[in-house]
Homo-oligomer: A and B are copies of this chain.
Amino acid sequence: MKIDVCYTPELIHQFDVSDKCVVIIDILRATSCMVAGLGSGVKSVTPVATVEECEALGKEGYVMAGERGGEKLPQFQIGNSPFDYMLPELKGKAIAATTTNGTRAIELSKEAPDVIIGAFLNLSATVKYLLTQERDILLFCAGWKGKYNLEDSLFAGAICDGVKKQATFESDAVTSAFYLYESMQTDLHYYISRSNHANRLSKFGIMKDIDYCSKTDEFDIVPRLIDGKLVV
């Protein structure tokens, strides 16, 4: 089993996803939200790119989730915080979520036979899943507006650490992610809270989201993409 890392959607053309298990990574906050919601009883999360697609699903009864520029849209029921996704009244509900970076990564993985969702919140469950399946693995960092970001790369390194005895590191990108994690793992929260994206988010007063997204193993689930929906 081989493992590789794609640091941003702008490099995905360098990888062949058609036979891979792809792990989508968008720690702040899309994949953390998905894990938190699906781990708390949400029935499904359908990622969509635009507000309009989200509103169309809203008319079919979906709970609409999303933000633009860091703030919840007024016509939507919830924003893009893991705490929103864990609200008790969402148990059993289907969510339609607009995200930018996360949805782009999912869209670019559509040729892959298996697409799963990874976050620190389900780190051990993700590692366990990857070790029981047999495909080569691509860790796909959603990045931020196409740029490299720290928290996604750090999570990729955490996965590499978890699978290192069974998986062959396929590229220097894997080696770097692994060593980045090795050097930062003793205080993930410190490094994540100092990342560029955390700095952007902190302007909106959502440090508690960043704190929560840095926690490991809150949920023992692995969301998978089935017919355009993320489900457990």
Contacts and interface: CB of A to CB of B under 8 A. Distances in A.
A110 to B, nearest CB: 21
Number of copies: 2
A150 B179 CA distance: 11
B176 A147 contact: no
Contacts of A75: none
Interface in A147-163: 147-151, 153
A172 B184 CA distance: 13
23 contacts: A7-B7, A7-B148, A10-B11, A10-B14, A11-B146, A14-B146, A147-B171, A147-B172, A147-B173, A148-B172, A148-B173, A150-B172, A151-B172, A153-B172, A153-B176, A172-B195, A172-B196, A176-B176, A176-B180, A179-B180, A180-B180, A180-B183, A182-B183
Interface in A65-96: none
